[in-house]
Amino acid sequence: MKTLLIHAKHFEYEAREKALDAAESIDGNRSGSFENALVVFVTVEKGDGSSQDVVEEAAADVLDVFRRVGASRVVVYPYAHLSDDLADPEEAKRVLSQLAERISSAGVPVSRAPFGWYKRFSVECYGHPLSELSRTIKPGRRVRPGYADFAVMFPDGRIVGIEELRAEELPEDFVALLEAEVFKKKREGGEPKYLEYCRKFGFEWEPMSDLGHMRYGPEATIMLDAVAEYAWQCARSLGIPVYKVRGTNTFNLSFKPVAQHAQLFGDRLYQMEVDEKKLILRYAACHQQFAMVKDWEISYRDLPFGAFEVADSYRLEQPGELLLCFRLRKFYMPDLHVFCKDLAEAMEVSFRIHSKIYEEIRKLGRDYVSIYNLTRSFLEQHRDYLKRLVEMEGKPVLLHFVPEGKYYWVINVEYNIIDELGRPREIGTFQIDVGNAERFGITYVDENNTRRYPVIIHTAIIGSLERYVFAVLDTAAKKARAGEVPSLPLWLSPVQVRVIPHSSEYLKLADSIADKLEEQGIRVDVDDREESLAKRIRDAEVKWIPYVVVVGKREAESGKLTVRVRGQGQYEMSLEELVGRLVSELKGYPRVSAALPRYVSARPRYSP
């Protein structure tokens, strides 16, 4: 069977004259006219009627496309001209009827144009990518093409094909992942809340740059600084020596390794020509770190070690793909490369990375569902390794098989959160790279004085800085959706404590409290504006400030502070108690020097 699927804004036909003696009767079905229809032009070929397979598969495909494009009905239109191996008319009529019935039994409205007539028709195609598709369906071919590249691995080591999955043994988030990545289910849409939160904290597009470049206002910059520092902290916590380095974002294509590595990225590469030199912007920290480490003299005793940089990275994403704080043309990648003796050592190290990546997302109160991209041969050879990774996750993972030899890595794990709107979003990732050491000429000397190429792990433990912020803001959005007060973790809050003097008389007292908090490395400001207390409290809440301290006559007399804690309530405590609480809440997280100027009364307004 051959089919041609057109998603038509408008479709109409009218039977004119018989083409065959075996033509169907057209009583009441001489013509039809439809809006927003999926028109299925069908040619039935010899043998299609011999088993149910063909009809089943064709119907499943039509239904799949129907759901994805959001058409309101299906029109089955017999059309002999897609093949020269036509079934005889009786077989064709039977198969066409079965196809229509099969689609109809899924609850989808179906119309069928008559078989065996010359028909006038006109079709207005929407023109989106899915609006024109053609298929060839042969008897006996069962697995749907899109599914063959996927399987699911369970913690007990079982590997199950997509069609054999039982929904009841799959966690909800995993189903969301399957729907997006494998079934390609169409989504409802709606503007996500995190975009509003981005504006609130000053994460915005920069209109005067290229598309996909962001700017970061004062609050956003404090947050980004904190995330960058935290990413470094995570890299160091793996128990492997890690060297922080820094480099350039611009590389010259005339160097072979640069050109080869660039080729892997294809047309998403940012390029420019300067002084007749072809230059590229790096798409991750790989270029710089490999170019540097190739000049290092490395002994097996030094391995494994890591190199780390928060690298400004550039990818020429397509305009329609860009998404604030998520898919960007310029972003910051806290990229760690771990150089290992061999694949076995890399796999050992990857367990630590795997567990760290999970630990970090869970600290945000979230969880991942993962995709393991790998070749089938890697699966065959390292099934125990994979089983252990999945055991550590304690839930199923999606295996995605890629062609042998196409990529520089043998396994590439993508860790996805399921966002506020049910979409998988990749945040963390690691890859085991067996190709780039040789390409860049990175070697070490082993126990036997032989030069060898190390195996390199690439990882962004907490994802790009922007994506980590996305995860944080999306978590707040989920809270808000659940009716809770949305908030930031204390260590990421641009202002951690706001002190509000009840009236200007108490400004000195407010300042002295702010001084003491600042000494402890707390980000604090003072709302000294001539506004009502209620107004200033409200503004602090709008900015999600976690701790708000009001000082006035009462506090001056009692020596205690009245502290409003976001999402919790109002408490009396001493300054020491407040500091103790803050310090313990910040334990394990970085303090950065960036902070806002103290007085709220003298600040430009730049965010809602």
Residues marked as binding for Zn(2+)?
Answer: 286, 337, 458
Task: Please tell me the distance from the alpha carbon of residue 449 to that of residue 88, in angstroms, as a whole number.
Answer: 74
**CA-based torsion, 24, 28, 31, 33: positive or negative:** negative
Pair 60, 35: CB distance under 8 Å: no
- Coil vs helix vs strand at 414: strand
Query: From the CB of 370, what's the least distance to RNA, in Å?
Result: 11
Residue closer to RNA, measured from CB, 47 or 422: 422
Query: From the CB of 163, what's the least distance to RNA, in Å?
Result: 19
Residue closer to RNA, measured from CB, 105 or 601: 601
How do beta strands 397-401 and 369-374 pair?
Answer: parallel
Which of 532, 559, 584, 587 is in the footprint of RNA by CB under 7 A? Answer: 532
Residue closer to RNA, measured from CB, 400 or 591: 400
Residue closer to RNA, measured from CB, 45 or 414: 414
Query: Does residue number 322 form part of the binding site for RNA (CB under 7 A)?
Result: yes
Of 41-100, binders to RNA (CB under 7 A) are 68
Query: Does residue number 192 form part of the binding site for RNA (CB under 7 A)?
Result: yes
How do beta strands 409-418 and 369-374 pair?
Answer: antiparallel
Pair 427, 468: CB distance under 8 Å: yes
From residue 374, alpha-carbon distances to 152, 177, 382 in Å are: 13, 17, 11
How do beta strands 424-433 and 455-460 pair?
Answer: antiparallel
Give the Cβ contact number of residue 127 at 10 Å. Answer: 9
Query: Does residue number 189 form part of the binding site for RNA (CB under 7 A)?
Result: yes
Query: Does residue number 597 form part of the binding site for RNA (CB under 7 A)?
Result: no
Pair 149, 400: CB distance under 8 Å: yes
Binding mask 6-35 for RNA (x = CB under 7 A): ------------------------------
Query: Does residue number 446 form part of the binding site for RNA (CB under 7 A)?
Result: no
- The dihedral formed by the CA atoms of 541, 542, 545 and 546, expressed in degrees to the nearest 10: 50
Which of 182, 469, 550, 595 is in the footprint of RNA by CB under 7 A? Answer: 550
- Coil vs helix vs strand at 29: coil
Q: Is 131 exposed, middle or buried (0-12, 13-18, 19+ CB in 10 A)?
A: middle
Rg (CA), the chain: 31
Which of 553, 574, 576, 588 is in the footprint of RNA by CB under 7 A? Answer: 553
Residue closer to RNA, measured from CB, 86 or 195: 195
Query: From the CB of 450, what's the least distance to RNA, in Å?
Result: 33
Query: Does residue number 502 form part of the binding site for RNA (CB under 7 A)?
Result: yes
Residue closer to RNA, measured from CB, 73 or 186: 186
Which of 541, 573, 589, 596 is in the footprint of RNA by CB under 7 A? Answer: 541
Which one-letter amino acid corresponds to residue 4? Answer: L
Query: From the CB of 556, what's the least distance to RNA, in Å?
Result: 7
Question: How many residues form the binding site for RNA (CB under 7 A)?
Answer: 69
DSSP letters spanning 170-185: S-HHHHHHHHHHTS--
Query: Does residue number 265 form part of the binding site for RNA (CB under 7 A)?
Result: yes
Task: Please tell me the distance from the alpha carbon of residue 242 to that of residue 310, in angstroms, as a whole number.
Answer: 13
Which of 33, 122, 538, 568 is in the footprint of RNA by CB under 7 A? Answer: 538
Task: Please tell me the distance from the alpha carbon of residue 266 to that of residue 254, in angstroms, as a whole number.
Answer: 16
Query: Does residue number 479 form part of the binding site for RNA (CB under 7 A)?
Result: no
Binding mask 145-184 for RNA (x = CB under 7 A): ------------------------------------x--x
Binding mask 389-428 for RNA (x = CB under 7 A): -----------x-x----x----x-x------x-x--x--
Which of 337, 356, 564, 598 is in the footprint of RNA by CB under 7 A? Answer: 564
Query: Does residue number 534 form part of the binding site for RNA (CB under 7 A)?
Result: yes
Which span sits near RNA by CB under 7 A: 20-28, 104-112, 436-444, 536-544?
Answer: 536-544
Q: At which residue do the structure tokens 């839930």 appear?
A: 395
Query: From the CB of 412, what's the least distance to RNA, in Å?
Result: 4
Q: Is 142 exposed, middle or buried (0-12, 13-18, 19+ CB in 10 A)?
A: exposed
Residue closer to RNA, measured from CB, 169 or 210: 210
Task: Please tell me the distance from the alpha carbon of residue 293 to that of residue 271, in angstroms, as a whole number.
Answer: 24
- What burial letters (b/e) apply to 378-399, b meaning 16+ CB within 10 Å? bbeebeebbbbbbeebeebbbb
Query: Does residue number 273 form part of the binding site for RNA (CB under 7 A)?
Result: no
Task: Please tell me the distance from the alpha carbon of residue 288 to that of residue 291, in angstroms, as a whole number.
Answer: 5
Q: Name the nearest CA neighbour of 256 among 230, 287, 231.
A: 287
Query: Does residue number 377 form part of the binding site for RNA (CB under 7 A)?
Result: no
Binding mask 103-132 for RNA (x = CB under 7 A): -----------------------xxxxx--
Q: Tell me, what DSSP letter sits at residue 187? A: -
Query: From the CB of 38, what's the least distance to RNA, in Å?
Result: 14
Q: Name the nearest CA neighbour of 343 among 442, 452, 258.
A: 452
Annotated binding site: 286, 337, 458
**CA-based torsion, 552, 558, 564, 570: positive or negative:** negative
Which of 141, 158, 187, 277 is in the footprint of RNA by CB under 7 A? Answer: 187
Chain positions contacting RNA, by CB under 7 A: 68, 126-130, 181, 184-192, 195, 199, 205, 207, 211-212, 265, 268, 317-324, 371, 373, 400, 402, 407, 412, 414, 421, 423, 426, 429, 485, 502-504, 530-535, 537-538, 541-542, 548, 550-555, 562, 564, 570, 605, 608
